[in-house]
Structure 1
Amino acid sequence: MIINRLFAFFILMMSCNLYFSQDITIKDDKVLLDGKQILKTEKISLAQYSFFSMKNDDEVLMYKYMDNETPSYVTDDYFILNFLTEKVKVESKDLGKVSNFMNSRKGMEKLVRWLLKERVINQDGDLNSERLAIFKEKYDENITQRTLR
């Protein structure tokens, strides 16, 4: 009897987890959320992506990976999220948030999933200015200002 209840509880928990997960895919320069296009994208290079609004084709986000001019030394690498329409730049060394073993498309899907989770962008691909300010406070490490050149 207890095993049946535990099994039922386990199935319930798994179904809730699957129900609340969102499917993010980038295909043919489109960012799809559960099959609905929310952004356009352009891969500039392996280390740079741009994301565009569906409403007016404005570039809303540019992702750039910086190797800090030391390609063989990876501990000083970081990424830049430049929210162009809001004039906000976030620099972080937490590469686990966006990297996916050199598969840039999967990494960008991970980035969009992170921005949705933090509610920086909504289900329609629009930026939320208030949540972006909170996101900047949480994750910006201001690396360029701290680096001597």
Structure 2
Amino acid sequence: MTVKKLFAIILLAVSANLYFSQEVEIKDDKVLLDGKQILRTEKINMIQYSFYDLKNDDEILLYRAFDNETPKYVNDDYYSLNFLTEKIKVETNDFSKIASFMNSKKAMEKLVKWLLKEKVLTPEGTLNPDRVAVFKEKYDQNITDRTIR
């Protein structure tokens, strides 16, 4: 492969990534997508966030992190995404999608980006019911039902 072809492929990959990337920011309890507000958010505490639509101010998503009652052992930690209007809950221990070293706001920005990428959340800030179901099939690990107490 020539240097010109390699350079063209790299340039195409970088430009495609820049074209499809969207800037998500949480500022003053507003979720902004490319500078336009799409949701309202409420930080309840470090491990719990609520997201509200702008149309009816309905709570559409509740994020909660759980330490599984073992605060010093992190390998069993998980989080749940409760899509309230769709009555669907997703529990997963894959923090790689939202990981942000002890910064819950940045983690929630990553969460919104992930939901946008998966088309669960539309750019207008509404949930896509079909994609929520697909998201559950892809990522739900059903942790609560598998945990012995």
Q: Which TM-score band applies after superposition, normalised by the shorter structure?
A: over 0.9
TM-score, length basis structure 2: 0.93
In structure 2, the gaps of 5 or more residues are none
1:145 maps to what in 2?
145
Q: Structure 1: which 5+ residue stretches go unaligned?
A: none
Percent of aligned pairs with the same amino acid: 64
Identify the residue that residue 51 of structure 2 maps to in structure 1. 51
Letter paired with 1:108: M
Distance in 1 of aligned mates of 2:4 and 2:94: 42
Q: Which residue of 2 aligns with 1:104?
A: 104
Aligned-residue CA RMSD (Å) = 1.3
Q: CA deviation at 1:46?
A: 0.5
Aligned equivalents of 2:12 and 2:148: distance in 1?
53
How far residue 72 of structure 1 moved from its aligned partner, in angstroms, is 0.1
Offset of residue 93 of structure 1 = 0.7
SS in 1 for 2:86: coil
| Alpha-carbon shift at residue 100 of structure 1 (Å) | 0.6
**What's the counterpart of residue 128 of structure 2?**
128
Normalising by structure 1, we get a TM-score of 0.93
Match of 2:81, SS state, is: strand
Give the match for residue 14 of structure 1.
Answer: 14
- Partner Cα distance (1:145, 1:48) in 2: 21
Aligned residue pairs total 148
Shift of 1:99: 2.1
Q: CA deviation at 1:5?
A: 5.6
Amino acid aligned to 1:139: Y
C-alpha distance after superposition, 1:124-144 (max 9, x if no partner)? 011011111111011111111
- Cα distance in 1 for partners of 2:139, 2:6 equals 39
Cα distance between partner residues in 2 of 1:92 and 1:44: 20
Is 1:34 the equivalent of 2:1?
Answer: no
